[in-house]
Structure 1
Amino acid sequence: MIPFKNIKTIFFDYDGTLHNSIKIYGPAFRKAYAYLVRLGAAEQRDWSDREISYWLGFNPQEMWKTFMPGLDDDIRNKCSTMIREEMRALTESGAPELYEGAIETLKYLKGRGYRLVFISNCRIIYRDCHRELFCLGDFFEELACSEEYNFIPKYEILSKIKDRYPEEMVIIGDRMQDIEAGKKNDIYTIGCSYGFPLEGELDEADLIINNIKKLKKYL
């Protein structure tokens, strides 16, 4: 049995772990892709939410390097800005949705005395909009995002901030980047199968949960 009873600090991924991010990322991705089609830089096709969700968990640089590595820098930057602005507009309109039980679970964990830390491969403006919309500052004592660290890998960000907090630690997330971050920092990992993982991505997690509220059982 993993000694979760000794945990003092919990690092939370955001998209796919607390936030059902396809609700805003899907429309933004499709808008940018339609722009690429108009330019003749991409072929017309329909994208399912499941296909688009593959890119959730990547920082913007990783996403474009993998998705369309040969794209002209100016076009890539235009598309990245388009996605960012569309997601911002949707956020400001109140479109984002947290998973059912997410706030309830955060309140429970904070009430139990855990140190909660947000760590996400997102931009500063995205983090700030969601912090305001969902009052995330009421739960997290730090909200770290990849743009603040020049989009270095999540495991490197975690290595830079973890010493600020007491051991023992656990990181919770739905993608390979989260499990990798935990393994490379000798931190327990909890994988979230209800998010956007591909088959096998969570195989190395110390524990897998299928609902955010299941954290109450272990923490």
Structure 2
Amino acid sequence: MTQSLIFDMDGTLFQTDKILELSLEDTFDQLRSQNKWNDVTPIDQYREIMGVPLPEVWAALLPNHSKEVREEANAYFLERLIDNIKAGKGALYPHVEEVFRYLKENQCSIYIASNGLTQYLKAIVDYYQLDQWVTETFSIQQIHTLDKADLIKIIMKKYNINKGAVVGDRLSDFRAAKENGLESIGCRFDFAREEELSQADQVIDDLIELQSIGAQMKHNF
């Protein structure tokens, strides 16, 4: 049986922290220039909520601002993220390409399910040419519930997936896996928290470990 692995993007495949602070600083500089912000950039607060859908991010970072201001900030932030990706300022985590190549050679189907927006995900996939391994990339933007479990469900239905695993770094990934009857593999990377990783079925410190896990899954399936 063909294996299926569904990967999160930020903090799992892509080292978001390399462009996060740059892009967020640019966004709050823009707000300061418009006299809509007069404090330091809340980078630490953003790191705390990293992984939630962007509408929730801006509601948290700009709680006293209008929906219009939040949407403008989100749009500008997205522009800066994409510009920084295209400028090569980001990076994949070590061994992403090596692991993807190994998984494809061993008849594993690879998908991406992310809380990131479609344009942002496309910029990463295009820049690093991930579509040579990834069957399809899905954004939370594609569903109205903004619930990652629902996004995983759509992937499973579309590709007739019955068994497999979700690879991610946050609780939303592990819950999405559990609600859909999949294994969960937690990545102890930049944005991960130990109390959330405890909810994963397995935890890895390097993506290269997926080679041995993939082989084990194939044997079990």
With normalisation by structure 2, the TM-score equals: 0.88
Q: Percent identity?
A: 22
Paired position in structure 1 for 2:82: 88
2:197 maps to 1:202: yes
Superposition RMSD in Å: 2.0
CA distance in 2 between partners of 1:133 and 1:202 (Å): 29
CA distance in 2 between partners of 1:95 and 1:207 (Å): 31
Q: 2:130 aligns with which of 115, 133, 136?
A: 136
Paired position in structure 2 for 1:103: 97
SS of aligned partner of 2:134: coil
Structure 1 residue 28: Cα displacement? 0.9
Paired position in structure 1 for 2:146: 152
Paired position in structure 2 for 1:3: none
Q: Deviations over 1:117-143 (max 9, x none)?
A: 111111111122112111111111111
CA distance in 2 between partners of 1:153 and 1:100 (Å): 28
Paired position in structure 2 for 1:127: 121
CA distance in 2 between partners of 1:46 and 1:76 (Å): 15
Paired position in structure 2 for 1:34: 29
Query: For residue 114 of structure 2, what is the amino acid of its counterpart?
Result: S
With normalisation by structure 1, the TM-score equals: 0.88
Change (3 A) 1:127 1:156: same
2:159 maps to 1:172: no
2:7 maps to 1:12: yes
More deviation in 151-160 or 113-122?
151-160
Query: For residue 22 of structure 1, what is the amino acid of its counterpart?
Result: D
Quick check: 1:26–1:52 contact (8 Å CA) kept in 2?
no
Return 5+ residue gaps in structure 1 as ranges.
Answer: 1-5
Aligned residues, how many? 213
Structure 1 residue 8: Cα displacement? 1.3
Structure 1 residue 151: Cα displacement? 6.2
Structure 1 residue 65: Cα displacement? 2.5
Structure 1 residue 110: Cα displacement? 1.0
2:69 maps to 1:72: no
Return 5+ residue gaps in structure 2 as ranges.
Answer: 215-221
SS of aligned partner of 2:195: coil
Q: Deviations over 1:149-184 (max 9, x none)?
A: 246211111112212233211000011111111122
CA distance in 2 between partners of 1:64 and 1:186 (Å): 32
SS of aligned partner of 1:119: strand
Quick check: 1:7–1:170 contact (8 Å CA) kept in 2?
no
SS of aligned partner of 2:50: coil
SS of aligned partner of 1:94: coil
Paired position in structure 1 for 2:176: 181
Paired position in structure 2 for 1:117: 111
Query: For residue 156 of structure 1, what is the amino acid of its counterpart?
Result: D
CA distance in 2 between partners of 1:108 and 1:95 (Å): 26
SS of aligned partner of 1:201: helix
CA distance in 2 between partners of 1:74 and 1:143 (Å): 29
CA distance in 2 between partners of 1:22 and 1:30 (Å): 12
* Aligned pairs for 1:45-60 within 5 A: 45=40, 51-60=45-54
